[in-house]
Amino acid sequence: MMSKLSLFRLIAALITGLFSILAILYVLTPPVWNLKEGVIRVTRWPRDGETIYWLNDKHPHWTPIEIVSRHTLHAIITAEDARFYNHNGLDYVEIEKSFKLNMEKGGYIRGASTITQQVVKMGFLSSEKSIFRKIQEAIGALLVEKILSKEEILEWYINLAEFGDGVFGIRQAAQHYFKTAPELLTIQQSTHLALVLPSPNLWSKGLRQKKLTEFGHERFRHIIERMHREGYITETLMQRALETGDFGRSINSAPPDPNFVETENTKN
């Protein structure tokens, strides 16, 4: 029979262990509850140097999700996180795919970040690729899904995302590239903006020059055809987008590579 002293030591060890776990979780968890409060401190590095500001729905570039073109929201979800409405912050199907591909290729070829994870990263973490950051990102994403609705998460995403050239947020992107408002973005324009995610500085060349690269053609086709499969657009709208998608020119007619997303590292 366990003595009172042994029992006391066991309880003390359990309490110490519990507090240690809680302390570790506290250190690893980004302050994502600030998203619920509606304001976060954001640091950006545009061409003219570091900029720090507080982002909330009073910021001049903030765009309420209800006024954004449905085509834009659908294109972004399709391009970045097709199972956005069906996961808890982590997409275990994509994680498994990425793990297998990275093992096959012997390196980091493809990630599996969801929109929720990207909100955590853009709002609270550095862009450094490390196990520590990915753990923080995962813990933060699971917590965000508990405190925000999917629409609230998506609203933060479209206001935080960079679209290349130091252009942040959907309002600034619509104005910068197309001289229009977020609510007026067409299917083609929406797809062009979604196309550059999540590597805007690398992939925005075609958007800046108003002429898609070969990679841009394939990614545009991939997004449009998937939007059609998901029921976001009709076949007629899909065909029209493919006929005019390269800024009035048609998208290359070559059939898309079924492994395109996996091999081109289109997810962080």
What is the domain partition of the chain in residue ranges? 29-263
pLDDT band at 132 (very low <50, low <70, confident <90, very high): confident
Query: What topology is assigned to 29-263 in CATH?
Result: Penicillin binding protein transpeptidase fold (1.10.3810)
What pLDDT, on the 0 to 100 scale, is given for residue 202? 82
What pLDDT, on the 0 to 100 scale, is given for residue 262? 38
What pLDDT, on the 0 to 100 scale, is given for residue 263? 43
Q: pTM surpassing 0.95? A: no
Q: pLDDT, tens digit, for every residue of 97-128?
A: 876 776 676 655 566 789 999 999 999 987 77
By the 8 A CB rule, do 229 and 268 touch? no
Give the residue with greater pLDDT, 229 vs 20: 229
Give the residue with greater pLDDT, 58 vs 144: 144
Lowest mean pLDDT among 53-62, 123-132, 255-264: 255-264
Amino acid at 57: D
Sign of CA dihedral 171, 184, 238, 209: negative
- Of 26, 230, 8, the closest CA to residue 140 belongs to 26
Q: What percent of the chain has a predicted confidence (pLDDT) above 90?
A: 54
The helix/strand/coil state of 259 is coil
Average pLDDT value for the chain: 84
